[in-house]
Amino acid sequence: MTDAFIELTQAKARYCYTLDTRDWDGFGALMTEDIELDVSEGTGVPVVHGRDAAVDMIRSSLTNARSAHQVHTPLIDVDGDEARVVWAMQDRVVWENGPSLTGYGHYHERWVRRDDGWRLAALRLTRLIMEFESTG
């Protein structure tokens, strides 16, 4: 395994961990300042540009919710200080007094290597399955 492979899998693990533990500073620190975040498929949420806007959008979408995000079987293509990665993903989000969502799909990402490590520059989420269930 290459150092880049290990570094990228660690960065994505940190992404999932900081997201699910609501460590918004740590979550934002994994992104470039000009990140492009596209979770529009199946949600109607517009594409978001910029780290602060991305963190704010994700934070607000998870208000009053518990979540677990998992990624598997990465396809990693490193070209110098840039990497394209596709992760198989599953997420579970349970809102207080509301519905729950279990989703399956893929994160399509572009990462850039900086002096202090890999940073997420673009993310597009595609969904294969979205299962909603009432918890009320």
Cα–Cα distance, 86 to 90 (Å, whole number): 13
pLDDT tens-place string over residues 7-45: 999 999 999 999 999 999 999 999 999 999 999 998 889
Domain interval for residue 45: 3-134
CATH number at residue 79: 3.10.450.50
Q: State the total domains in the chain.
A: 1
78-to-20, 55, 117 alpha-carbon distances in Å: 27, 26, 14
Question: What is the per-residue pLDDT across 49-67, written as a single tens digit (0 to 9) for each?
Answer: 999 999 999 999 999 999 9
Residue 22 token pair: 């609501």
